């Protein structure tokens, strides 16, 4: 199971809040995370333990930061969400409805499935909200996309 598929929507939101609130010199405080999640500190803290166990965040002196793995996982989530939004947009849903529908599936689908959806949509550059969609990690025919396991 992929790391992303092990997370809840609230844990992904915690990653987003930490990523937005951390700076190069300091992590996000529990108070900042709780505020960003619109919950009390004990509820926010309950989301941080599993994220730390999965190696997605590190905590030091009450501050939380995304690890490299956490940053990659957050980027993977954004790709899943934006590809799903684009799919639903192509089916005729409006921008707000595409986001709601994407939230229903974005954590459940694998990277491979997201790549297949992306290819079927001819590699959209942006979601319905104008946010960029990163390229596919793999390609059936290798047409101009990055391969996940290719090394130089």
pLDDT value at residue 95: 87
| CA–CA separation, 39 and 103 (whole Å) | 20
pTM score of the predicted model: 0.83
H or E, element range at 65:
strand 63-66
**Structural domains of the chain, with CATH:** 3-66 (1.10.10.10), 68-152 (1.10.10.10)
Where does the chain show beta strands of DSSP type E? 28-29, 57-60, 63-66
Render pLDDT for 93-144 as a digit per residue (tens, 0 to 9): 998 899 999 999 999 999 999 999 999 999 999 999 999 999 887 544 443 3
């Amino acid at each position: 199971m992929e790391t992303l598929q092990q997370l809840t929507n609230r844990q992904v939101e915690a990653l987003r809040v930490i990523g937005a609130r951390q700076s190069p010199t300091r992590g996000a405080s529990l108070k900042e995370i709780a505020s960003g999640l619109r919950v009390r500190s004990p509820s926010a803290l309950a989301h941080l333990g599993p994220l730390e166990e999965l190696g997605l965040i590190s905590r030091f002196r009450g501050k939380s930061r995304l690890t490299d793995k956490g940053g990659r996982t957050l980027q993977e989530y954004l790709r899943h969400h934006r590809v799903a939004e684009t799919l639903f947009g192509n089916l005729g849903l409006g921008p707000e409805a595409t986001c709601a529908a994407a939230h229903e599936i974005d954590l459940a689908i694998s990277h491979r499935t997201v790549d297949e959806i992306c290819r079927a949509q001819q590699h959209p550059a942006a979601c319905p909200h104008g946010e960029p969609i990163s390229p596919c990690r793999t390609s059936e025919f290798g047409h101009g996309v990055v391969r996940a396991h290719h090394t130089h």
